[in-house]
Structure 1
Amino acid sequence: MDILKHDKRPLYLKIKEHIENLIDQEIYEAGDKLPSETAFARELDVSRASLREALRVLEKEGKIIKSQGVGTFVSKPIPRFKRGIEELFSVTDTIKNEGFTPGTRGLEIKKTKIDKHLALKMNINEDDQILKLQRIRTADEKPVVFCIDFLNTNLFPINIDDDFSHSLFDLLENKYDLKIKYAVAEIIPVTAKGKLMEKLNVKKHSPILLLEQMHYDEQERLFLYSKNYFRSDQFQFKVLRSR
C-alpha cells in the first residue's frame, strides 16, 4: 500500500500499525481469521518476511493468536479495567486509577415512580417519586459504562440541578453527608441490543456485564438501586475466594 511506503519507520512496524487499525475499525473482529500470509502480503503490497515480523509482534502483544495448521485469528481485547468485585468502587475512581480521564455523556434526570417490587425493597410507597438518573460514563471519551440509578430522595433532599457528571458517591458523601456502608451486588451477563448498542457504541449481541446493586447506608436503609452495564471488552471483575 502506498500509505505504508511513504512512512519512514521500519516496514514491519508500519504493517503492524495498519493491522491494528483494521482491528480497531472492526474490519477484522475478535475471533475473525486473518488472510493467509501470502494473500495478506499481496493485499498490503509488502513482502511476506515483513508481514511475518509484524504478525510476530502482534502475537507477542496478545492481539492475534496463531494456531498451527489452522490459521491466524484476532484475539479478544484485554480489558483495560480490572477490579475486585468485593470492593465498593465508583466508576469515576476506577477510570482515574487506570490513568484515563472520566467523562459523562447523555445525562438524563427525572422524577419517576417505580414498580411495586422495587418500592417494597426501598421501603417507599408506590406513589412516591424517586430520582432516576441515566448517563454514559466514558474513559478518554470512549463509552465504557451505561448507568441507570434510582435514588430514594425521601432520605435526603437531593437537588435535581446538582452536578451529576462526576462520581455519584462523592456527591452523596460530600454534599449530603450520606455514609455509604455496603452494597449487595449481582453480576448478570447480557448481550447488547437496541439501547445498549447505541449507548455503548457496540455491535448487536456484544457481551455486556450488568452489575445490579442495592446500596445501603449506615442505618441499613436502601438509598440507591443501580444497574450498570459494563462493556466486557473494557471491564473485568474478579472475586477473592478463600477457604
Structure 2
Amino acid sequence: MTNIDIFTQLPSLNGGPLYLKLKKRIEDAISTGALKHGDALPSERDIADAAMISRVTVRKAIDHLVDDGLLVRRHGSGTFVFKPMPRMQQPLTRLTSFSEDMERRGMVGGSRWLERALCFPTPEETMALGLSGNARVARIRRLRTANDMPIALERTSLADDLLPNPEAIENSLYAYLGQFGIRPVRANQRISAVVLRDDETELLGVPQGSAALSVQRIAYLETGRVMEISRALYRSDAYDLVAELTIAR
C-alpha cells in the first residue's frame, strides 16, 4: 500500500464530519505503522483527490494533527509524520558512549554519518585538544538513532594521532578506539537548553522551533590528556538527564 492508498476509502466511513474522518484515518495509519516517523504525507491536493473531499477539509484535518503533535510542517518540504519517542533517563554519573546507553536499554543504536574527515582545526579545537601548529583534527558528525528513530545530533573532535582514519569507524567511536587501548576515564560535561536551528529540526524530525538539550563534553585519558571534545543535541521530548545528589557532611 502506498501512502495515497490510505485515503482512498474515506467516503465509505460512517458518521461525523469529513475532517474528523480524515484525522482518524491518519491517526490509525500512524498507530499501525502504515505511516512511519519521517514519512512524507502526499500533497493536500493529492489527498483531496484520493478521498474525494475538498482541500479545505484536508487542511483542517492536518492542522488538528499538527496541533496534536502527530504531524509537522517543514517550510518548502511538506508535511511529515512525527511519532514521539518514549522518554529515556540518562544518568550523569556514568561515562558511557551512546551505543552503550542504547544497548543497556535494550534498544538498537545507529548512526547516519554527516561528516567523517581530517580537517584543519579551529582555534577552539587547537586549544582544547592541545594541538601543535601542523596537527590535523579528526572531526566526526552524525545523527544518532534509537531503533531507527532520530534522537541526537553529535559532533566530536579528536587529535589526528588518536584517530588517523575517521572513516574506519563503523558505529561506536569508543568501541573502535578501545581496540587500541584508547579509552576515556573521566569527563566534564556542560548542559544547557537551546533552540534548534531549522536544519537541525529537519535532521531530528521535530517541529521548527523545538528545544533540545545541549551536552558539551571534554573527555580525558588516564594520562590527563584530552581525548575528545564533543557537543550533542538531544531531543528534549525524549531525554531526561538525571543526577544523584548527596548532602556534604
TM band (smaller chain): 0.5 to 0.7
Instruction: Name the residue aligned to 1:231.
Output: 235
Instruction: Name the residue aligned to 1:190.
Output: 194
Q: Which runs of 4+ in 1 moved over 4 A?
A: 1-5, 17-22, 28-32
- 2:161 aligned with 1:165: no
Kept in 2: contact 1:113–1:126 (CA 8 A) = no
Superposition deviation, residue 157 in structure 1: 5.2
Instruction: Name the residue aligned to 1:241.
Output: 245
- 2:113 aligned with 1:106: yes
Name the Cα RMSD after superposition: 3.0
Residues 212/30 of structure 1: CA separation in 2 closer, same or farther (3 Å cut): farther
Query: Which sections of structure 2, spanning at least 5 residues, go unmatched?
Result: 1-9, 16-23, 39-61, 71-83
Residues 106/166 of structure 1: CA separation in 2 closer, same or farther (3 Å cut): closer
What aligned pairs does 1:70-219 form with structure 2 within 5 A after superposition? 79-154=86-161, 156=162, 158-162=164-168, 164-173=169-178, 175-219=179-223
- Taking every aligned residue pair, what percent have the same amino acid on both sides? 21
Q: 1:99, 1:226 → 2: CA distance?
A: 25
Q: 2:14, 2:159 → 1: CA distance?
A: 57
Residues 157/104 of structure 1: CA separation in 2 closer, same or farther (3 Å cut): closer
TM-score by length of 2: 0.65
Q: 2:148, 2:208 → 1: CA distance?
A: 21
Q: 2:142, 2:209 → 1: CA distance?
A: 21
Query: Which sections of structure 1, spanning at least 5 residues, go unmatched?
Result: 6-13, 33-76
Superposition deviation, residue 223 in structure 1: 1.4
SS at match of 1:110: strand
TM-score by length of 1: 0.66
Q: 1:199, 1:149 → 2: CA distance?
A: 17
Residues 208/30 of structure 1: CA separation in 2 closer, same or farther (3 Å cut): farther
Q: 2:237, 2:134 → 1: CA distance?
A: 40
Q: Greater shift after overlay, 110-119 or 226-235?
A: 110-119
Q: 2:69, 2:112 → 1: CA distance?
A: 30
Q: Which amino acid aligns with 2:216?
A: E
Superposition deviation, residue 140 in structure 1: 1.4
Q: 1:198, 1:151 → 2: CA distance?
A: 27
SS at match of 2:154: strand
Instruction: Name the residue aligned to 1:67.
Output: none
